[in-house]
Amino acid sequence: MSGHDNLNHAAQRYVIGVDVGTGSARAGLFDLNGNMLSVSKRDISLFRDAGSVVEQSSTEIWIAVCDIVREAVALAGVDPAHVIGLGFDATCSLVVLGEGGRSLAVGPSDAPHRDIVVWMDHRAVKQAERINEMGHEVLRYVGGRISPEMQTPKLLWLKENRPHIFDAAWQFFDLADFLTWKSTGDLARSTCTVTCKWTYLAHEQRWDPSYFEQIGLGNLAEDAFARIGQRIVEPGTPLGQGLLQEAADLMGLLPGTAVAAGMIDAHAGGIGTVGVGGKPTSNMAYVFGTSSCTMTSTEEPVFVPGVWGPYYSAMVPGIWLNEGGQSAAGAAIDQLTSFHPAAAEAAQLASSQGKSLPALLADHALQQVSHPSDVVALATGYHVVPEFLGNRAPFADPHARAIIAGLGMERDLESLVALYVAGLCGIGYGLRQIIDTQAGSGAVVERVVISGGAGSNPLVRQILADASRKPVTTISAQEPVLLGSAILGSVAGGAFSNVRDAMDALSRVADEYLPVENELEERHNSRYEAFLRLQETARVIQSS
């Protein structure tokens, strides 16, 4: 076959990546050069109740997923027969189903369609604290402390507070694994989901029954873990016989289309980004969306107190992963700016210009300076530790809360812009703290490769580079998270022999934002010291 024929053959094969985030589901259709040809989106509902309860509906999400896949294929105008693979990523939310896949109500609303405990739900804080006090050996692989965002504390909450639901459950799924089951009928779980959020020991290829017995979930071990996963496979592994007829009909694809074992959404962003330069261990993946997630890859396991992991083969196969970040990042900036007296008027102005409020504030900041790095001067006197929803890393402290220092009586747009810049600096200093903490344990990175909607603005990227003291790199793909899940689909569909080869082929550097090295570097160093002092003060006084 000639080179020209090879190119034509590649051009006629496509893969689809599906990303189910906190507030929306998106599908992107890609060619085998990593170019996204179409994207489709649907908003999905969040149900919030008192006591940090956040729930969703798996039925609504499944319908949304099928609709957007069908729409993405139609928008691209490709023949469904040329779609060779489908990959899913999703938030690390807990799906609870009864016999036959029947939805079970996970909360006090008793609404059956509300069968998902969302990742950000913090109802299981007390259960997490109790588990941490027991100090089981498996906790070494979650940074020494389990988080209420992980699944075993949530399962324990269900058993203690809704025992009839816990007992009636046929399967407990991570959301990505639910989607692959619905697509293929295969109950296999992804190494990514169960290792990062369920305490599966991937490096030993086993669950630890003694952990479940110790914390009060021994009955999950008694049935040989049939309800949480008996067959664990690496992301990208083809599942079942591909798409079931029913799923294919709903998606507008052919039955038998390859479906890959999926990933958590942030980890798909990592797959879509850390391959640039061919050295995953040199790159920290930083997914900056509603929350933020840092993913650092190492050849050998590195234990970092307060940073999740080390997890084996949870993102890049054959490599260890440390995972940090914060539960509120983009959401923290939204919360911060909402407090300001000028926020409502600024939001109206942004809407009239077809922009988001953060985009408007970034534009106004840039109008006042000659270089993007200079915006830090606008935040003089303002300091923000944006831990509105706790500190995920490096303290693993769900009780941590934000500090805003320097507020006066100002009510104008300029002071709102200053507060916004200070908040972004605070996000960057939190990133620097994670980088420094990991480096102290031996996990050193050369650059930060960014993805996620909250990190799409060039000003945001420059502030993060300046505040973290690391180059911030972007890749050419418009949607790195979707690319990551599409990479999984490309492996399942046989276009590449493994995930690393697909990463090398489909990820390319677009831009690089270098940290400033003039007197502004000292300003950031000084502000970082202030960040650390304020953070420590908050930790001392938080219970008073």
pLDDT in tens, 215-247: 999 999 999 999 999 999 999 999 999 999 999
Percent of the chain, pLDDT > 90?
Answer: 90
Tokens of 375: 């915006």
The answer to the question of residue 495 being in a domain is no
Judge if 418 and 537 occupy the same domain.
Answer: yes
Tokens of 366: 């840039």
Judge if 230 and 367 occupy the same domain.
Answer: no
- Beta strand 308-312 pairing with 320-326: antiparallel
pLDDT at 1 over 50: no
Residue range 7-29: mean pLDDT, rounded: 85
Structurally, the chain folds into a number of domains equal to: 2
This prediction has a pTM of 0.88
Give the pLDDT band (50/70/90) at residue 11. low
Judge if 79 and 199 occupy the same domain.
Answer: yes
Let me know: does 469 contact 240? Beta carbons within 8 Å. no
The answer to the question of residue 459 being in a domain is no
The answer to the question of residue 481 being in a domain is no
Let me know: does 135 contact 211? Beta carbons within 8 Å. no
Does 49 or 209 have the greater pLDDT score? 209
Judge if 256 and 334 occupy the same domain.
Answer: no
DSSP letter at 378 equals G
pLDDT at 48 over 70: yes
Among candidate residues 288, 224, 334, 260, the one with its CA nearest the CA of residue 489: 260
Residue 198 is part of a domain; what is its CATH number? 3.30.420.40
**Percent of the chain that is helix, strand, coil (3-state, to 5):** 45, 20, 35
DSSP H helices, 368-475, are 413-441, 458-468
- Domain end call among 232, 261, 290: 261
Judge if 242 and 376 occupy the same domain.
Answer: no
The answer to the question of residue 507 being in a domain is no
pLDDT at 374 over 50: yes
Please give the pLDDT value at position 518.
Answer: 87
Judge if 355 and 226 occupy the same domain.
Answer: no
Phi–psi pair at 56, nearest 5 degrees: -140, 180
Laid out side by side, the sheet with 472-475 consists of 308-312, 320-326, 292-298, 283-288, 447-451, 472-475, 509-513
Judge if 246 and 348 occupy the same domain.
Answer: no
Lowest-confidence pick of 1-10, 39-48, 156-165: 1-10
Judge if 358 and 250 occupy the same domain.
Answer: no
> Which residue(s) pair with 42 in the sheet?
25
The answer to the question of residue 217 being in a domain is yes
Please give the pLDDT value at position 507.
Answer: 87
pLDDT in tens, 408-453: 999 999 999 999 999 999 999 999 999 999 999 999 999 999 988 8
Find where tokens 């920290």 sit.
284
Judge if 238 and 349 occupy the same domain.
Answer: no
Among candidate residues 325, 540, 332, the one with its CA nearest the CA of residue 422: 332
Q: How many CA atoms within 13 Å lie on the side-chain side of 310?
A: 21
Tokens of 73: 């294929």
- Preceding amide of 108 cis, omega within 30: no
- Domain end call among 217, 234, 261: 261
Judge if 78 and 191 occupy the same domain.
Answer: yes
The answer to the question of residue 106 being in a domain is yes
The answer to the question of residue 285 being in a domain is no
pLDDT at 277 over 80: no
Give the pLDDT band (50/70/90) at residue 530. very high
Domain that holds residue 418: 330-434+518-541
Give the pLDDT band (50/70/90) at residue 50. confident
Residue range 194-213: mean pLDDT, rounded: 98
The answer to the question of residue 465 being in a domain is no
Residue 363 has a CB neighbour count (10 Å cut-off) of 15
Residue range 470-483: mean pLDDT, rounded: 92
pLDDT in tens, 139-185: 999 989 999 999 999 999 999 999 999 999 999 999 999 999 999 99
pLDDT at 75 over 90: yes
Judge if 60 and 163 occupy the same domain.
Answer: yes
